[in-house]
Structure 1
């Protein structure tokens, strides 16, 4: 009788052990199944930032350190001129790298906007920068470039000799050329009528004057798009203007197609 009870206890004990093992294995199998069905966890914001940084670095390097043609097509200046401009802005205007944006990227974004009329929202999608970052650095580069206008944009000098080229003999006494250009602008709705040009676009009529070497001598922005070219020219030569366009006596400027190919003589 005692041996039967002992044997029965052993049998029950073995049964409990087997059931425990089966339950444990079932739990493990269930966990393995759930893990296999679970979506892979993302790498988080660090991985996203790293991807954006790599993409941005590749695009910028391909732009101003790639081929000469690609640089000129996108930035509208040569590679050498781009790097010279960045050095000039660093040394003369105090433009510096920020924590996340270097001077070269700031200047590249600025040139893309002014060279192609590119919207900042398009830059945001391409270079993975926020609108606030793009706008801040655009304004920073703009202020730096405007601070150098007195060094590069100067009124003409009558003592400058024209290039030694037979083509210029037809323009004796001329110091350069001037022309007008319409630039699209965004203005309040009540003022859009004055800025709407003959092509029904809202723009400003800008006057530009260059010398024989295509260096700017004078720029007058801000005129309404509806203003005629002759009106813009007369406005630039008003004597009561602090920044009046003055032509030296005995000299002239060749006028562009917008000004009917006449020669501008001093009054």
Structure 2
């Protein structure tokens, strides 16, 4: 009994030591594999991230080479770009970050908004990592929001000296108000709430503009299923919401109520411009004459929406809210 136990002891110890040795070799192999992968990753990052001069050359080709290239890539010409860049630095608190200067941050953001390009494509264009592109985009958007008080001006009422025939009939008018639907991506449990009449999720954004096509008020965030009148009431109830002086008003379509500060067309009468376009069916009643003049003036907000969606692709393709 003692001899068997004494002979089994060394064998058991040898077996345990053998297992320990195998485990140590396996751990050593894993460590070596990790080092190889880490070194490869570092090499890829070093080749991916260019030097300062090469990045400045990319920005020069995008922005400063010509007005035509700048407009195609960033949807604005060089002088407006430079003015917006200076405004973001002076008033939007946007600062240079390491090797990413303010003009490059703005160029990345405008390229994303203008063409709705994915992060990985922007990373390739500007030779920046995906993480850097995401940080730059968020930082620049926050800086742009800080400029809202400078960019959104107070409207001026139409006066008797107005030369535009479309607006000369509407003395004291501040402009036009309407809503536009922006396609968005939402969670499955929110799709019914955001679904518009066309059957897909949208955000109903209310805007006000002047006769000179200047946007003076924006209220985003409402579901695509929300009625225009409900959104307008919300805009009026907010502390810093839409303000309409007592002697002034906005032109609105039939989706809104005809009330103090808002002038809607006559219901049950021809209204849309397409109904007057042929010229074969002139206005027959005073109500139709009013509706025709109302539609021609109020169409300015539709023109603004069309111009925005034509220039900035982010307004016509799906935007994620998740």
Q: TM exceeds 0.5?
A: yes
Q: Tell me, what secondary structure is at the counterpart of 2:229?
A: helix
Residue of structure 2 equivalent to 1:246: 243
Residue of structure 1 equivalent to 2:303: none
- Structure 2 unaligned segments of length 5 or more: list them: 1-42, 263-322
CA gap of 1:208–1:242, structure 2 versus 1, over 3 A, is same
User: RCO greater where, 1 or 2, for CA within 8 Å and sep 6 or more?
Assistant: 2
- Structure 1 unaligned segments of length 5 or more: list them: 1-43
Residue of structure 1 equivalent to 2:261: 266
Q: Tell me, what secondary structure is at the counterpart of 1:206?
A: strand
Residue of structure 2 equivalent to 1:38: none
Structure 1-normalised TM-score?
0.68
CA gap of 1:167–1:206, structure 2 versus 1, over 3 A, is same
Alpha carbons 1:155, 1:245 under 8 Å: kept = no
Structure 2-normalised TM-score?
0.58
Residue of structure 2 equivalent to 1:196: 195
CA gap of 1:63–1:161, structure 2 versus 1, over 3 A, is farther
Greater C-alpha Rg: 1
Q: How does 1:98-177 map to 2 (within 5 A)?
A: 98-156=97-155, 158=157, 164-177=163-176
Residue of structure 2 equivalent to 1:21: none
Q: Tell me, what secondary structure is at the counterpart of 1:208?
A: strand
Alpha carbons 2:157, 2:172 under 8 Å: kept = no
Deviations for 1:208-241, whole angstroms, at most 9, x for unmatched residues?
112233322211010002223333223322x3x2
Alpha carbons 1:255, 1:264 under 8 Å: kept = no
CA gap of 1:160–1:215, structure 2 versus 1, over 3 A, is farther
Alpha carbons 2:158, 2:167 under 8 Å: kept = no
Residue of structure 2 equivalent to 1:36: none
Counting matched residue pairs gives 219
CA gap of 1:198–1:99, structure 2 versus 1, over 3 A, is same
Alpha carbons 1:196, 1:203 under 8 Å: kept = yes
Deviations for 1:33-54, whole angstroms, at most 9, x for unmatched residues?
xxxxxxxxxxx66555448973
